[in-house]
């Protein structure tokens, strides 16, 4: 079950200015920004939710949260977003340097609700930049390791140079996470797997009857992955995917992100596969 | 040895559909073989006279590209099968295969298995029913990779311009 979080009316339509306090270059077109503001406590973002990020004067785009940093007192201090320079807005956000200001609205949408997977195996399958929205889930499970059983993380990337969070991947492996990585196009130095991410499932130690899966990536990749997970015996209700549509208002008012009966910004982005499958199989929906 | 091979073949998921009788017949054509890291298992263009159950480790399928050396097409991990060019004439490998790490396998004499398939159509059909899902799965995986799903629009445009 994914959790629905009601939007906060005061933050629903107005972006607040946040300062970029750090900018880490992840790949040639992807950066991770840490954002801070000076107007009270940070809104309560949860894993799976997204914010509308504004590049002032250009536009705004929905970007999932990829982390929340607190300073040790349990109070969130910084919002973390990993984003890829694709269009005009994301290129402007990507180029924003520390000290620069961007607008933030949110949090919006449903959460991964990883606490509900307590007591089970956790299987996380990420494709490309789909690892970014799953990063808070991985961090939460690693931080509360005793609450969960085995944690398996399977990642597909285009090339080795496109892999996100290389340092964290090593750390998670050291922390006992079973990490599998595969790429579509290896370079000369690549010694890992080559092929689609679903091929890694065959080698994963998974107890299908007692697992919860979290999947994020391009829609086609999620479709194939979810089907492979179902074929392995994981119930569709225990497979969660993150839908992507053209979110605009963020709170279900404008209808831009309608996917059949679902308004992705409000009823998603995280939904279970039992709900997503019939929608994804409708052409042009 | 045959009992040992039977046990290992029976435990391998690839032949899970076979009956004990079929597994016993097949095991007679199998031999455990281990490969060291970097060891070539077969080369593109060679005679496809064997196939392997990969039990543990991993194997890279590769192809020689002029000017670029051996390019890895795909890697296979434990729990799957390596080699199906033995199923159909001209019985030549279309790709090469190299162990990427210590790899445990069971290798089968393909000509002998083909003879069993010809002599016993029920056995032959059962063998094909084991191979067909893997062939379909790898075809679908290849099609997905052709789509270049993880490419940014700029990367996709560049790839299209090159093609």
What is the rounded average pLDDT of the residues A252-268?
82
Pairing of strands B58-65, B96-99: antiparallel
One of 1.10.10.10, 2.40.30.10, 1.20.1050.10, 3.30.1490.100 is the CATH number of A9-108, namely: 2.40.30.10
Q: Closest to B147 (Cβ–Cβ): which among A85, A200, A220?
A: A220
One of 3.40.50.300, 1.10.1060.10, 3.40.50.80, 3.40.190.10 is the CATH number of A114-242, namely: 3.40.50.80
DSSP states along A140-184: HHHHTGGGSS-EEEEEEESSGGG-S-HHHHHHHHHTT-EEEEEES
pLDDT band for position B160 (cuts 50, 70, 90): low
Mean pLDDT of chain A: 89
Between CA A148 and CA A261 the distance in angstroms is: 33
Quote the pLDDT of residue A10: 47
Chain-chain contact of A199 with B140 (C-beta, under 8 angstroms): no
pLDDT band for position A9 (cuts 50, 70, 90): very low
pLDDT per residue as tens digits for the range B32-60: 999 999 999 999 999 999 999 999 999 99
pLDDT per residue as tens digits for the range A105-153: 989 999 999 999 999 999 999 999 999 999 999 999 999 999 999 999 9
* ipTM for this prediction: 0.83
What is the rounded average pLDDT of the residues B101-108?
97
State the CB neighbour count (10 A cutoff) for residue A24: 13
Q: Residue A230: CB partners within 8 Å, gap ≥ 6? A: A236, A239, A273
Q: Which domain holds residue B127?
A: 2-162
pLDDT per residue as tens digits for the range A165-193: 999 999 999 999 999 999 999 988 899 99
Of A29-33, A124-128, A273-277, B108-112, least confident by mean pLDDT is: A273-277
- Contact (Cβ atoms closer than 8 angstroms) between residue B35 and residue B99: yes
Mind telling me how many Å the CA of B73 is from chain A's nearest CA?
A: 7
Q: Is B74 on the interface with A (CB under 8 A)?
A: yes
What residue segments make up the domains of chain A, in order of their start?
9-108, 114-242
Chain-chain contact of B72 with A186 (C-beta, under 8 angstroms): yes
Q: Residue A15: CB partners within 8 Å, gap ≥ 6? A: A52, A54, A60, A103, A104, A105
CATH number of B156's domain:
2.60.120.10
Q: Residue B88: is its pLDDT beyond 50?
A: yes
Chain-chain contact of B77 with A203 (C-beta, under 8 angstroms): yes
Between CA A114 and CA A133 the distance in angstroms is: 12
DSSP state of A70: E
Mind telling me how many Å the CA of A202 is from chain B's nearest CA?
A: 7
Q: How many CB pairs under 8 A join A and B?
A: 68
Closest CA to A239 of A109, A95, A120, A72: A120
Chain-chain contact of A220 with B75 (C-beta, under 8 angstroms): no
Chain-chain contact of A203 with B79 (C-beta, under 8 angstroms): yes
Helix (H) or strand (E) holding A12: helix A9-12
């Amino acid at each position: 079950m994914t959790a629905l979080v009601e939007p906060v009316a005061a933050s629903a339509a107005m972006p607040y200015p946040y300062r970029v306090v750090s900018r880490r270059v992840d790949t040639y077109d992807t950066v991770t920004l840490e954002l801070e503001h000076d107007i009270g406590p940070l809104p309560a973002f949860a894993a799976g939710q997204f914010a509308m990020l504004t590049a002032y004067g250009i536009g705004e785009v929905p970007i999932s949260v990829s982390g929340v940093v607190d300073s040790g007192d349990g109070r969130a201090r910084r919002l973390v977003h990993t984003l890829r320079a694709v269009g005009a807005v994301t290129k402007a956000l990507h180029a924003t340097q520390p000290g620069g200001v961007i607008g933030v609205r949110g949090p919006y949408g449903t959460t991964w609700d990883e606490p509900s997977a307590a007591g089970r195996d956790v299987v996380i399958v990420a494709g490309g930049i789909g690892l970014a929205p799953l990063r808070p889930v991985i961090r939460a499970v690693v931080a509360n390791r005793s609450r969960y059983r085995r944690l398996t993380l399977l990642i597909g990337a285009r090339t080795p140079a496109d892999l996100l969070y290389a340092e964290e991947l090593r750390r998670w492996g050291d922390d006992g996470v079973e990490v599998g990585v595969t790429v579509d196009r290896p370079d000369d130095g690549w010694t890992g797997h080559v092929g689609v991410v679903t091929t890694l499932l065959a080698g994963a130690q998974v107890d299908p009857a007692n697992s919860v899966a979290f999947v994020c990536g391009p829609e086609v990749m999620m479709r194939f992955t979810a089907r492979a997970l179902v074929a392995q015996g994981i119930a569709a209700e225990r497979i969660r995917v993150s839908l992507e549509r053209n979110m605009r208002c963020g709170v279900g008012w404008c209808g831009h992100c309608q996917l059949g009966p679902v308004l992705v910004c409000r009823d998603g982005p995280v939904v279970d596969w039992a709900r997503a499958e019939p929608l994804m199989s409708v052409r042009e929906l | 040895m045959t009992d040992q091979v039977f046990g290992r073949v029976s435990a391998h998921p690839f032949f899970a559909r076979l009956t004990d009788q079929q597994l016993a017949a097949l095991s007679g054509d199998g031999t455990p073989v281990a490969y060291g890291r970097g060891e070539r298992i077969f080369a593109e263009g060679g005679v496809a006279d064997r196939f392997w159950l990969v039990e543990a480790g991993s194997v890279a399928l590769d192809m020689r590209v002029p000017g670029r050396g051996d390019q890895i097409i795909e890697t296979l991990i434990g729990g799957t099968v390596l080699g199906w060019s033995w199923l159909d004439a001209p019985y030549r490998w279309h790709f090469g295969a190299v162990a990427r790490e210590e790899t445990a396998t069971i290798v089968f004499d393909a000509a002998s298995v083909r003879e069993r398939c010809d002599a016993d159509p029920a056995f032959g059909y059962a063998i094909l029913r084991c191979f067909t899902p893997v062939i379909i799965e790898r075809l679908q995986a290849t099609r997905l990779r052709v789509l270049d799903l993880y490419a940014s629009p700029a990367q996709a445009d560049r790839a299209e311009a090159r093609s």
